[in-house]
Each structure stands twice: as structure tokens, then as C-alpha cells.
A = this chain, B = another copy of it.
Amino acid sequence: MANTTIYDVAGAAKVSLATVSRVMNNPEKVNPETRERVLRVIKELGYRPNAIARGLASRKSTTVGVVMADVSRASTSQLLGGIIDIAKKYDYAVKLFSMSEGEDIKETMRAVVAEQVDGILFLNDELDKEQMNMVMNYIKDAQIPVVLCNVIYEDDSVPSVSIDYEKATYEITKELLAAGKKNVYFVTTVRRYTINVHKGIGYRKAMTEAGLEPLIFRTSGDVTVNSLHFEEFLKNNKVDSIISVRDSIAVSFMNIAIRNGLSIPKDISVVGLQNTKYAILSRPTLTCVDTPVYDIGAVSMRLLTKYMQQQEVTESKVVLPYSIVKRESN
């Protein structure tokens, strides 16, 4: 039972291997009786076609490549959750490729292509414009469908799924301003992730419209590092509210503020832009823009199946809705 092949099935069902293959791929072209007989044998032997051989013969691997920067980031794993569920539903296998900082990006892309994936889900939002151009051109040359998954890239020809980060951040900034806040800081990462850049644009817009100077504070995603930053920050700046690109950074900020005798939200309002589990495990709980990360993953995967199967796509740039979850921090 170790390795049943199509020949074994053909032999046991007394048909040719071509017929077995047809039963699996074009059942309607096979006489119902023969079909049933073959199906029975397949079941009996627990036969599953060798995916590699099938891939070579059909020139389709029914595998998608997921290219990401870092799995351990919460958003990455949430995206993966959505991707895997939908991939399973459509019978695609999922191969993972990481592009760590400092590694050869082109080499990784070459590996992805060599693995013969039928489509690519690109989740790495840590590349700069030039690198993105290179990667996208490479994929285009290889003629592999691609969907950007929670990554912003200014080229309308590349399909993508995300939310309108600019608008969401604009909106929540307006809310803080409407509540009478003046010194609204935008706390973002030192690293320039594409989506965080867009959050920043929305924030600036709201501030500028209100006749205020944008106030931006950059810090590390590493909690041990940003704690020290925040002590400094609070000492040197007048601040009545902050908007943080990451929930964990917002929570870290709240902890420092409270330790320094400040009260949240009385002295400072705090909002996050993700709505992860950190937001409900903090004290006070964190008001957030809710980014539907799992859905972004799921929808990307679904969109990619359409491209891989040459189905018609009406909307190549999907913008999912978001909501704002009001909690205790503002």
C-alpha cells in the first residue's frame, strides 16, 4: 500500500491508465459503468495520483507560492490562516518562501519560479519601490499570476487585496481631532513597511486639513527598545493622543505612560491600527481600526485561483471594508 500508481489501478480495474487518468480529470468522458468500477478500485487502494508526476505532465503544479518577510509576525500568520483555508478548499498546495533582510531577493524569486508554482501570493511589504519593481518584473517575465496580499504597490496592473489604510487612518485621526485633541502623534516603525507608509499619508492629511502640523514618532517594533524610546518621548513632548501602526507598540506605550503616572485615556488617548489580541489583553483595552487580516488572506487566495484558472476577474484591486472598534483607551 506504500505507493500505489496509476498502473496498479488500471490493472485492478482492467482498463488502461489513460482511462484511469480520465476518471480523475474528465470523468464525463468516461462510460458511467467503467467510471464506477475505476472509482471503486481507487477507493479500495487508497490511490492518490503522484502530485509531482501530474505536475510535470500537465504543467500545472496546483501549488501556490507564498512569499513573505517573516512568518512569526502576527499579521503574516493571520494572512496565512486565510490563505491556507481557501487553498485547501480549491485543492491547491501551499509552499512557503521567506525573504529575509539581507538575502538575495532575486535568488528567492528564482527559487519560487523553479518550484513551478502556478501562482504567487506576495505578502512581503518590507521592500522599497525599486525592489518591488524588480520582483514584479521578474514575475511578469515568468508569466505567473500574482496577487499582492496586504501590500501596497502603485501599479494598477498588479492585482491586490487590502483595506484602504489611508482612509482608515484619516478617519480615526479625525475622530481624535473631533474629540478636541491637538497633539496627535503618529507612532510608526523605523522600517518603512508599505502599509504603514499609507497609514501615515492618511494621518498627515487629517492633520493638515485641521491646520495642524503632523507629529511623527518613529520607534522600534522591539518592545525592550521602544520602552526606553517612549520614556524619552514623554519627557520631551507634549502629547494628548497617539495613533500606533501596531497594536503591540500602542500597548507598550500605554504601559510606559501609566508607569510614569499618566492616565489613559484621561491624559492621553491611544488607538491602534490592527485589532490583534494585544488590543483586548491590555489594560485599558485598546480602541482600534479593525484590519480583517484573515479575510485579506482568504480573499487574495480566492482571487489568485481565478487568475490561475483563467476566469474572468471584474475587480483586480480588492479593497475590503474595515471598522473601528471602540474600547477603553480613548
Contact = CB atoms under 8 A, between A and B. Distances in A.
Contact of A52 (B55, B80, B255): B55
A178 interface: no
19 contacts: A2-B143, A50-B56, A51-B116, A52-B52, A52-B115, A71-B80, A71-B81, A72-B77, A72-B78, A74-B74, A74-B77, A80-B96, A93-B96, A93-B115, A94-B95, A94-B96, A223-B280, A248-B281, A278-B281
Given A283-B255, A283-B258, A51 B88 contact: no
Given A116-B50, A223-B280, A224-B280, A98 B85 contact: yes
Given A80-B71, A282-B281, A294-B72, A48 B114 contact: yes
Nearest to A84: B98
A48 to B, nearest CB: 4
A281 B110 CA distance: 39
A143 B283 CA distance: 51
Contact of A76 (B50, B77, B88, B278): B77
B281 A2 contact: no
Interface residues on A, range: 35 or more
Contacts of A282: 281
A216 interface: no
A142 interface: yes
Nearest to A57: B56
Nearest to A87: B96
Contacts of A274: none
Contacts of A111: 48, 93
Contact of A72 (B46, B70, B81, B142): B81
Interface in A44-84: 46, 48-53, 55-56, 61, 63, 70-74, 76-78, 80-81, 84
Contacts of A53: 56
